[in-house]
Structure 1
Amino acid sequence: MIHAKLAKAIQAYNEELIELRRKFHSEPELSFEEFKTTAFVCEYLENLGISYRKTKPTGVIATIEGGNPGKTVALRADMDALTVEQLNKDLPYASKEEGKMHACGHDAHTAMLLIAAKALNEIKEELPGNVRLIFQPAEEIAAGAKAMVSQGAMDGVDNVFGIHIWSQMPTGTVSCTPGPSFASADLFTVTFKGKGGHGAIPHDCIDAAVVASSFVMNVQSVVSRTIDPQQPAVLTVGKMVVGTRFNVIAENAVIEGTVRCFDPTVKDHIEQQLRNYAEQVAAIYGATAEVEYTYGTVAVINDEESAKLVQKTAAEAFGAEVIYHEKPTMGAEDFSEYMMKAPGSFALVGSGNPEKDTQWAHHHGKFNIDEDALATGAELYAQYAWAYLNE
């Protein structure tokens, strides 16, 4: 199942792989602003002779056409950075853009897929099918995958595979467990309207601060008391804006938060309970409530057959000891948009190494990766494509 030429090529290109990752890390671009990254990817693919097309406003879809007819497998890497200030500025490849940073590993994903593409392109005459390459923008705002799918990224694709560098796992380990992997992520906004007035005359007012505070304190019981404890769910209030001045009773309060879970029926239940709690809490105080609930990403649920193929491929490529079983995370990933079009799986490749100070959580200002993990990710991309097409 493992192609020896792919393994040898990845090893030969390891220095270039690290250089690519460092280039992307030092030049971070935010969601739908990845113009330089897109241009670089296009130039790189053109030099390899791989056909591609740019998507709007950013992103690239490319295809390596095999020498023999067969299925089409898609490999996806995201490219966008975050509005995070880099704290480990002593790195020789630290971000050159103040307030912007690759704090999630997307720089690594893009570099790994480029090198995987280079290796696969060298054996394209042996491929029984095609490899679709998806360089996606705007994962961090959960909009990029939808944009890529709408522009044909999954047209004719039979299976899709993605990788995420994971600092919470030891360097070089690989986790791809069948079933739930990343949770769905929805957003909600609750606006309470009371009756403002002087801080010294509360009996003539309806204090929106009190209403909002009561809601925040009580709404957690939606998860703790109305959902089966064996069903994972998170309801987080992340922002509350209320009041304008110390001696003015607030008339309005706006609360923003997120809902995470794996089961669509649980999501529907939480949404309805959010509306009930907001309306009933407001009614207690004589205020009014308006709830806006926005559906975000769908949960990433690994297809069993695809996930087992990832495990088998990783074990054969790197040894059975690399297989790791990471628990599902309540974090979100818009990779699920591709899996709505074709079966597939999403793997985690460990990059955490305290000796190299790469154990920091994703989205932290000190986030970094153990670059020994890059070759593992690049080869896993390439070997999975080969393995799937040869099933």
Structure 2
Amino acid sequence: MINQTIKNAIIENNAEMIQIRQKLHSEPELSWQEFETSQFVYDYLTELGIDARLTEPTGVIGELKGGKQGQTVALRADMDALSVEELNTDLPYKSKNLGKMHACGHDAHTAMLLSAAKALVSVKEEISGNVRFIFQPAEEVATGAKAMVEQGAVEGVDDVFGIHIWSQGATSKVACNPGPAFASADIFNVRFKGQGGHGAMPQACIDAAIIASSFVMNVQSVVSRTVDPMQSAVVTIGKMVVGTRFNIIAENAEIEGTVRCFDPSIRDHIEKQLQVYADHTAAIYGGTAEVDYIRGTQAVINGTESAQLVQRVAIEAFGKDAIYNEEPTMGGEDFSFYLDEVPGSFALVGSGNAEKDTQWAHHHGKFNVDEDALTTGAELYAQYAWSFLTK
């Protein structure tokens, strides 16, 4: 199953891959602003002889046509950075862009997939089918994958595979279980309206602060008392804006939050309950409520055959000890939009190493990647494509 030429090519290209990752880390670009990154990726693929095209407004799709007829497998990496101030100020490749940082490993994903592409070119004539390379923008705002799908990223594709560097896992350990991996991730906004007035005359007012506070406390029972306890679900209030001055009773209050779960029926249920709770809470105090519910990413559900192939490839490439079990996370991933179209799976490659200070949580200002994991990720990308097309 494992191609030794691919393994050797990944190892030989390791120094360049790390150099690319560090370059991208030092030049982070936010969602839908990845213009220089896209151009760099496009130029790199083109120099390899891979047919590539830029997507709108950012992103790249490349296609390597094998020497033999067969199916098409897609490999995906995301490219965008976050609005996070880097705290690793002693890094020689620290972010040059103030308030922007690759705090989630997308620089590593891009470098790994470029290295995988280079390795696959070395066995091009032996490949039975085609390998599609998807370099996606705007994962952090959960809109990039959908836009790439709309621009033909998975047209004619038989299987899609993605990887995420994971600081919660030990360096180079691989996790990819069949079934749920990442939760659906939605956003809700609730606007309460009362009747403002003087802080010394509450009897003449309807206090939006009281309405909003009651909602925040009561809405948690949507999960604890209306969802089957055997099902996983989270309702989080992340933001509340209310009032204008210390002695004015608030007329308006606005709340923003997120909903995470794995089951579509639970998702529907929670959406309806948020409206019920908002309306009833407002009515108790004589106010009104408006609810906007914005569906973000779907749940990432790994296909059984694809996930099992990932495990077999990882065991053969890196040994039995390389596999570990990672429980499903309530984090969101817009890789789900690809899985809505074609079968596939999404793997985690550990990069957490306390000795190298790479154990920090994703999205933290001190997040960094143990670059030993890049070799594992790059080979997993390439060997998965090879194995799928030759299985």
Give the structure-1-normalised TM-score: 1.00
Residue matched to 1:124: 124
Tell me, yes or no, if structure 1 residue 173 matches structure 2 residue 163: no
Q: Deviation string for 1:128-173 (max 9, x for gaps)? A: 0000000000000000001100000001000000000000000010
Match of 1:282 in 2: 282
Report the equivalent of 1:84: 84
Counterpart mapping for 1:86-101 below 5 A: 86-101=86-101
The equivalent residue for 1:60 is: 60
Other structure's SS at 1:160 match: strand
For 1:289, the aligned partner's letter is A
**SS of corresponding position for 2:212:** helix
Could you tell me how far apart the structure 2 residues matched to 1:273 and 1:247 are?
Answer: 33
Distance 2:223 2:261 in 1: 11
The residue aligned with 1:138 is 138
In structure 1, the gaps of 5 or more residues are: none
- Matched to 1:331, the amino acid is G
Aligned-residue offset at 1:389? 0.3
**Residues of 1 paired with 2:70 and 2:46: CA distance?**
24
Mapping for residues 12-51 of structure 1, pairs under 5 Å: 12-51=12-51
Cα distance between partner residues in 2 of 1:136 and 1:49: 20
Whole-angstrom distance in 2 between the partners of 1:382 and 1:307: 15
CA distance in 1, matches of 2:316, 2:241: 54
- Letter aligned with residue 388 of structure 1: F
SS of residue matched to 1:275: helix
Residue 356, structure 1, aligned to residue 390, structure 2:
no
Q: What's the counterpart of residue 4 of structure 1?
A: 4
Q: In structure 2, what residue type is equivalent to 1:8? A: N
Aligned-pair identity in percent equals: 71
- The alpha carbon displacement at 1:230 in A equals 1.1
The correspondence of residues 219-298 of structure 1 with structure 2, limited to 5 A, is: 219-298=219-298
**Partner amino acid for 2:78?**
D
User: 2:295, 2:11 → 1: CA distance?
Assistant: 42
Listed as ranges, the gaps of 5+ residues in structure 2 are none
1:70 and 2:74 aligned: no
d(CA) in 2 for partners of 1:59 and 1:172? 27
Shift of 1:122: 1.1
The separation in 2 between residues aligned to 1:340 and 1:204, in whole angstroms, is 53
Letter in 2 for 1:154: V
Matched, 1:206 2:202: no
Residue deviations 1:279-320, cap 9 Å, x none?
Answer: 000000000000000111000000000000000000000001
The answer as to 2:309 corresponding to 1:334 is no
**Structure 1: how far apart are the matches of 2:143 and 2:121?**
29
Distance 1:359 1:324 in 2: 17
Letter in 2 for 1:67: G
Structure 2 SS opposite 1:103: coil
- Paired residue secondary structure (1:129): strand
Q: Structure 2 CA distance, aligned partners of 1:325 and 1:353?
A: 17
Q: CA deviation at 1:324?
A: 0.7
Amino acid at match of 2:48: L
SS of the equivalent of 2:56 reads: coil
Q: Deviations over 1:162-210 (max 9, x none)?
A: 0000000000100000000000001100000000000000000000000
Aligned partner of 1:103 in structure 2 is 103
Normalised TM-score (structure 2): 1.00
Match of 1:182 in 2: 182
- SS of the counterpart of 2:132? strand
Q: What is the root-mean-square deviation of aligned Cα atoms in Å?
A: 0.4
Amino acid at match of 1:77: A
Distance in 2 separating the partners of 1:271 and 1:50: 45
Structure-2 residue corresponding to 1:379: 379
**Equivalent AA in structure 1 for residue 370 of structure 2:** D
Query: Aligned equivalents of 1:128 and 1:44: distance in 2?
Result: 23
Please give the alpha-carbon distance, in whole angstroms, between the structure 2 residues aligned to 1:5 and 1:127.
12
Secondary structure of the structure 2 residue equivalent to 1:134? strand
3-state secondary structure, aligned to 2:203: helix
Tell me which residue corresponds to 2:113.
113
Task: After TM superposition, give the deviation of residue 269 of structure 1 in Å.
Answer: 0.6
Aligned to 1:147: 147
Q: Cα distance, 1:65 vs. partner?
A: 0.1
Could you list the runs of 4 or more consecutive aligned residues of structure 1 that deviate by over 3 angstroms after TM superposition? none
Deviation at 1:46, TM superposition (A): 1.2
AA partner of residue 346 (structure 1) = F
Give secondary structure in 1 for the equivalent of 2:38. helix
Name 1:301's counterpart in structure 2: 301
Distance in 1 (alpha carbons) for counterparts of 2:173 and 2:303: 20
